[in-house]
Amino acid sequence: MKLQQLIEQGFQARHDLNCAETIVKGANDTYGLGLDDNAIRLAAGFGGGMCVEGACGVVTGITMVLSALYAKERGHTSPEMKEKIKLAIQQFESLYQSTNCHNLKENHRDEKTGCHGLILSGGEILDEIVGAR
């Protein structure tokens, strides 16, 4: 099953997760990252734009997942990781013209489903990038 499908099937609501947690935990389950609960909990503070409507939690979650998959020992020694993250952010920005939580919530958050569409797009972007590895 792909991450996008997992998200479509209510993964976020079933586990009571924020946007960043949904991406990281969902990717862990989908791609077998081997992250334990403590590692997944690191994503908690990135939801809601790092709790201050700054950088989108979907984007920071994607960054964490691609780091887990492609970082060698350190970020500065992992050019493939950097390329994958840049690609993911470019794809997200091309869809929504922003990676800022405040702007995204203003324009794309739904009263009933919250940021589900943004999270779904994040899952699709990761599936595309990770599927190419």
Rounded mean pLDDT, 92-119? 96
**Percent of the chain, pLDDT > 90?**
92
Query: Model confidence at 132, in pLDDT bands (50, 70, 90)?
Result: low
> Which residue(s) pair with 100 in the sheet?
55
Output the pLDDT for position 99.
Answer: 98
Output the pLDDT for position 45.
Answer: 98
Summarised one tens digit per residue, pLDDT across range 41-84 is 999 999 999 999 999 999 999 999 999 999 998 888 899 999 99
Output the pLDDT for position 73.
Answer: 85
Of 80, 78, 103, 79, nearest in space to 92 by CA: 103
3 state DSSP class of 111: coil
**In the chain, where are the structural domains located?**
3-131
Q: How many CA atoms lie within 13 Å of 130's alpha carbon, on the beta-carbon side?
A: 24
HEC assignment per residue over 62-110: HHHHHHHHHCCCCHHHCHHHHHHHHHHHHHHHHHHCCCEHHHHHHHHCE
Output the pLDDT for position 74.
Answer: 86
CA dist 27 and 69 (Å) reads 10
